[in-house]
Structures are given as C-alpha cells and as structure tokens.
C-alpha cells in the first residue's frame, strides 16, 4: 500500500487520515496477539503527533469545528471562572496565583478568564497532545474543563465474566476482539465502585482519569484547589442498567455518533466521567471535597446573569450582540444542555487543616 493513500474502492477509509490509519494498523499487526487495547487506539487516534484529532487542528471545539465547548460559546463562561480564581487567590493570599489548566482547546478559556480575574495570575496549560506546561512549581488552581472525558479508556463487556473489547484488524479495517482483560486493574476499578455489570452490558473504564487526579494533587500547593468541569455520573448511575451500551460517543461536524472506527483522526471520542472513581482518587491523594454542583447553578452563583444584565444596560452594545449573549447564557444554564455538566472542587487543606469555602457552590456566602 502506498503510504498516505486509501485503498481504491474502500469506503471505510473515506474521511479518515490514511497515515494515522496505517500507523495504528501496523502496530496492531506487529503486536503479539495482533490487537491493542481500545485505550491505546483512542490515545493514538486523538493525540498522535501531527495526525491525531487534537494534534491536527485548533478549531475542534468551535462552531466551525465538531462541537462547541462552553469557553467557545461565550466569554462570559471564562469570566465566571476568573471570578472563581479571584476567590481562591484571596483565600490563598498568593501573588501571583498559579493556575494550571489541562485542556485540548485553543486557549480561549485562559483569555476570557483573565478578563474576569482581578488577581495577578500566572497561567500555564497542559495541552492534550504533548502534555507539557510552562511552569514546574506548585499550582494554586488546577483546572480541567471538558478534559477528562477525552482521556484514553478501556472498553469492557460482561459475557459470563468480565471481558475486554480490544481493537484488531480484519479484512482491511479495524474490528473488535473480545478476550480476557489486559489488566486486573479493570475489574478492581469496578469492584471499588461497587459495580457488577449485567450480562451483555458494555461499559468503559478510564484508568487514566484517577491517575490524572493523583498527578493534579501532586502539583497542588497547600490550600490549592482542583476544579473539574465535565459530563459525568456517580458509578451507580454510570454503570447502571439504563446504560447497557455504555456511554462512549463520537462527535464530528456537530453530529453525535457511536462508531469510533469512522473518520479516524477527524472524529472526537468521549465517554462520561466516573465521578465515584475521581472522588476516591482525590481522597487517596489527601484532597477534601470543597464543592459539588452542576454548571448552571455554578455559573449563576458566579454572576452569569448579572453579566448579561450589565450588557443589556449598555447603550453602546449592538442589539445583535446582546441577543447572541442571551442565547449563549440560556444554553450555559439549561439543565438539558451545558448546564447539566458536573462541577466539582477538591482542595488540599491548608496549615490550619481547613478546606476553603468556594464561590459557585450552594454553601458559599
């Protein structure tokens, strides 16, 4: 096969990045059992240097891309995050406040948050493809907005006993291979969650997410906060009987799908976050829960409605600009859309052993 070209007449290659398909195919064929875990497949599909989904374009989370993230929807979202950061800065009395953002976007959240924060802030990002960041010291805020849902995950199915769904290569394209789990950590994860899958039920386990929490905690300064915003559920719901097919989804050109083998390199792959596992990892890392809510109430408490009202009162604002902002605010607050995202904060207790009271949550002043 000529490098970088799809085989003539094979429609399965249409829309895919041929070089990435070939690279993953070659790894599968060279593997001892001619298969790889779905986690490895997803890692390469999303982050392969120069070819993967997050490594080949910065327009993915935009109206012109495949999905629209909250920071891209309107700068009000970032301004609310900036207000949250201000409150952490006041409690930590840190100058400058060090913010470490994990993400795969274009830096839009940083730009808009800085317009809402009054504190002096030094902001660094860990990008999805290369995972490098600008400072090596402790962070006062570790921020992950729609990041954990894109971490590599293992796919499982219950067939008499727990099995893993691998990725193989069959008749010229990717295929599923079902066999024994690649690591006992997968069964241990479900057991720690108190979960037993029903016969025939599929599920996803992301071992990388709790590992990320341990990494974030290790980067956190005393009194610092980890803020996670994502779509996720506690294990009892995530692995419940209502989700017999799991929660894996794909996004391309604002259309939702469920075939991870379509448009390789040009399709986002996500699954809902296991919040029970995240809480367990935070506890094991010495962090304490400082707040839990959904995105709608979180943004409302941080003044999202006030921002819209101020825009309405400004006579210099174009009416179309206001209408667009109002539509964005409605979507950010709507519990059927972005307003349903979970927002959780974990803190490393300070020298006095206390957990800070944070804005955006119900028990905040």
Query: What is the per-residue pLDDT across 18-35, written as a single tens digit (0 to 9) for each?
Result: 999 999 999 999 999 999
Mean pLDDT calculated for residue range 249-278: 94
Percentage of the chain beyond pLDDT 70 is 90
- 106-163 pLDDT tens trace: 788 999 999 888 889 999 998 866 666 666 679 999 999 999 999 999 999 999 999 9
Contact between 304 and 78 (Cβ < 8 Å): no
Is 62 a residue whose pLDDT tops 60? no
DSSP classification of residue 246:
-
**Mean pLDDT score of the chain:** 90
> Residue 166's closest CA among 186, 148, 149, 150?
186
- Weakest mean pLDDT among 111-125, 174-188, 209-223: 111-125
Name the more confident of 330 and 96.
330
Mean pLDDT calculated for residue range 261-289: 96
Contact between 173 and 217 (Cβ < 8 Å): no
**Residue 135, pLDDT score:** 65
Name the more confident of 222 and 10.
222
Domains of the chain: 15-347 (3.40.50.12710)
Reading the block at residue 300, the tokens are 């409302």
Of 130-144, 194-208, 252-266, where does the model show the most confidence?
Answer: 194-208
Q: Rounded to whole angstroms, how far apart are CA atoms 130 and 300?
A: 34
Q: Rounded to whole angstroms, how far apart are CA atoms 252 and 38?
A: 19
Is 233 a residue whose pLDDT tops 90? yes
**Residue 236, pLDDT score:** 97
How many other CB atoms are there within 10 angstroms of residue 241's CB atom?
8
**Residue 41, pLDDT score:** 98
Contact between 119 and 85 (Cβ < 8 Å): yes
Residue partners of 360: CB distance under 8 A and separation at least 6: 80, 84, 291, 293, 297, 298, 299, 301, 302, 343, 345
Of 80-94, 112-126, 224-238, where does the model show the most confidence?
Answer: 224-238
**Residue 92, pLDDT score:** 74
**Residue 5, pLDDT score:** 52
**Residue 363, pLDDT score:** 60
Q: What confidence tier does 364 reach under pLDDT thresholds 50, 70, 90? A: very low
Strands 97-103 and 139-145: parallel
Q: Rounded to whole angstroms, how far apart are CA atoms 104 and 47?
A: 10
């Amino acid at each position: 096969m000529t490098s970088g070209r799809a085989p003539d007449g094979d429609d399965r290659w249409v829309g895919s990045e041929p070089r990435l398909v070939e690279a993953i195919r070659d790894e599968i064929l060279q593997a001892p059992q001619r298969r790889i875990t779905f986690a490895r497949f997803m890692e390469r599909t999303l982050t392969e240097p120069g070819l993967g989904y997050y490594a080949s374009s910065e327009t993915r989370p935009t109206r012109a891309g495949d999905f629209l993230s909250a920071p891209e929807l309107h700068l009000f979202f970032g301004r609310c995050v900036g207000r949250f950061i201000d409150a952490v800065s006041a409690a930590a009395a840190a100058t400058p406040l060090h913010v470490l953002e994990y993400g795969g976007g274009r830096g839009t959240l940083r730009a808009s948050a800085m317009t809402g924060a009054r504190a002096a802030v030094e902001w660094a990002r860990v990008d999805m493809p290369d995972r490098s960041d600008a400072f090596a010291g402790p962070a006062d805020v570790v921020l992950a907005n729609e990041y954990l849902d894109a971490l590599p995950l293992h796919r499982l199915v219950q067939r008499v006993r727990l099995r893993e769904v691998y990725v193989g290569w069959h008749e010229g394209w990717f295929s599923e291979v079902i066999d024994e789990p690649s690591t006992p950590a997968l069964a241990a994860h479900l057991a720690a969650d108190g979960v037993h899958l029903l016969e025939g039920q599929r599920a996803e386990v992301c071992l990388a997410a709790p590992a990320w929490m341990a990494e974030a905690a290790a980067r956190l300064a005393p009194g610092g906060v980890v803020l996670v915003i994502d779509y996720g559920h506690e294990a009892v719901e995530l692995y419940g009987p209502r989700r017999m097919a799991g929660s894996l989804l794909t996004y391309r050109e604002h259309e939702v799908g469920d075939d991870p083998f379509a448009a390789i390199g040009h399709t986002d792959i996500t699954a809902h976050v296991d919040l029970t596992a995240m809480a367990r990892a935070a506890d094991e890392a010495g962090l304490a829960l400082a707040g839990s809510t959904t995105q709608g109430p979180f943004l409302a408490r941080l003044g999202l409605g006030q921002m819209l009202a101020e825009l309405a009162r400004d006579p210099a604002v174009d009416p179309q600009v206001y209408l667009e902002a109002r539509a964005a605010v409605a979507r950010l607050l709507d519990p059927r859309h972005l307003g349903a995202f979970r927002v959780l904060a974990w803190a490393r207790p300070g020298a006095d052993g206390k957990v800070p009271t944070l804005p955006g949550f119900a028990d905040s002043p």
